[in-house]
Every structure is written in C-alpha cells, then in structure tokens.
Amino acid sequence: METNETIVITAGQKACMTVSIIVILVVMLVHALVEGGECTMARQLLDPLIRADYEATVASGRVPEEEWICGTFPSGGNKVFDPITMECVNCHDGTQASAVDYKFLKTELMGTASLVTLQASHPIGMDYRVYNCTLGFNQGVGLPAEMVLMNGQVGCASCHNLLGTNRLYLAVDMESSNLCFTCHRK
C-alpha cells in the first residue's frame, strides 16, 4: 500500500539548511586551498601583466654575481620585508590564508651593526651575504635561480617559487631535505 506523505519544511529549517550547506562548502574550499597549496598571488601571476611586473621585481632584487664575495658585510642597511614577502604576509596573517607566526628579532653583529629579522618558521629578512661562505652555509652565487634572495635577503620567495609546480610552491622539492640543503650544509 502506497502513502503520499508530503514533507513540509519551514522557513527556519530552510535557513538552517542553507547555512549548513554554506559552511560545508567553505570548509571544503579551505581544505582544498590548504591541501592543494593554492595561493591567490600565484593565481594572479597567470595574468601576463602581473607576471611581468613580478618577474621585473625579482630581476631588480637579484644580487649580481660579483657581490657574492666571501667574508664581506653588505652595506645599505637592513630591510625587514622585501616586496614579495610583504605580499605574502598580507594574506598569510591568518585571516585569508594560514598564518605565518612571526616576531621581530634584533641581533647585534660585530659590536656595531644590528640585524633585524622576522622570526617565523625560518628567519625572514636576514641578509644571506652575511653567512655566505661561512661554515654551515653554501655560497649564494651557486643557489638555484628558483630561490630568490631579494637584495640578498631571505624572504618567502627564497623557499617558495610562485611560478613553479612543486607542492606548496616550493622552489626545490623537500625529498631528502633538498630545499634545506640548498642553503645549509649541515
């Protein structure tokens, strides 16, 4: 025997279902972004004009080979953020993308100079030329082009190449800690 029952959904139930669906979609989107390594800035680089501007910024920040001299301290002061890192931190503050937990750290060097870095999972803002050719670090002149040291400084683009295809946009894959050993000897 068949019954024809009609289910009545109230306006409140419709609203609750709508909110639930939206929450599920947002959770799925966030999960896809985190797991997939999606990045708004990388997506913007698909635009040829934005990509050209990004590549010009990277080119202008590259340190010429002759400036990678062992045992020299770079002049010109310390800038905490390069323009690419600044773009990254704008989203990676926990509101739009996963947060980069950071704090400023001031280190006295050689009694007179001080170095201000952004201490995160890896120091940001440190000038690699200070450590170039020292025990434990590889020469900056030999680093892959995918690892950008804007004005010699370590920044987000030093480890993340937004034009690359590696997971999480890593400049060098992490198999056997390859990314770490590109700069560090130990």
User: Could you give the CA distance from residue 93 to residue 86 in angstroms, rounded to a whole number?
Assistant: 11
Residue 176 lies in a domain: yes
Residue 124 lies in a domain: yes
Residue 3 lies in a domain: no
pLDDT at 97: 75
Residue 6 lies in a domain: no
Domain tally, the chain? 1
Is the distance from CB of 57 to CB of 87 less than 8 angstroms? no
Mean pLDDT lowest for which of 10-24, 65-79, 142-156, 158-172? 10-24
Q: What pLDDT band is residue 32 in, cutting at 50, 70 and 90? A: very low
pLDDT at 118: 52
Is the distance from CB of 114 to CB of 80 less than 8 angstroms? no
Residue type (1 letter), 95: T
pLDDT at 30: 46
User: Could you give the CA distance from residue 53 to residue 33 in angstroms, rounded to a whole number?
Assistant: 25
Residue 1 lies in a domain: no
The b/e string for 16-44 (b: 16+ C-beta within 10 A; e otherwise) is eeeeeeeeeeeeeeeeeeeeeeebebbee
Residue 5 lies in a domain: no
Token pair for 113: 């100079």
Q: Residues 53-105: pLDDT tens digits?
A: 999 999 988 888 888 887 666 665 555 678 888 888 788 777 777 766 665 55
Residue type (1 letter), 130: V
Token pair for 119: 């201490």
Which residue in this structure is represented by tokens 């001031």? 106
Does residue 162 have a pLDDT over 70?
Answer: yes
- Strands (E) located in the chain: 103-109, 113-119, 123-124
pLDDT at 122: 74
- Name the pTM for this structure: 0.67
- Tell me which residue range forms the domain holding 145: 11-183
Q: Residue 166: CB partners within 8 Å, gap ≥ 6? A: 172, 173
Residue 155 lies in a domain: yes
Residue 175 lies in a domain: yes
Q: Residues 112-155: pLDDT tens digits?
A: 444 455 555 677 777 888 888 787 888 888 889 899 998 888 88
pLDDT at 66: 83
User: 3-class secondary structure for 103-124?
Assistant: EEEEEEECCCEEEEEEECCCEE
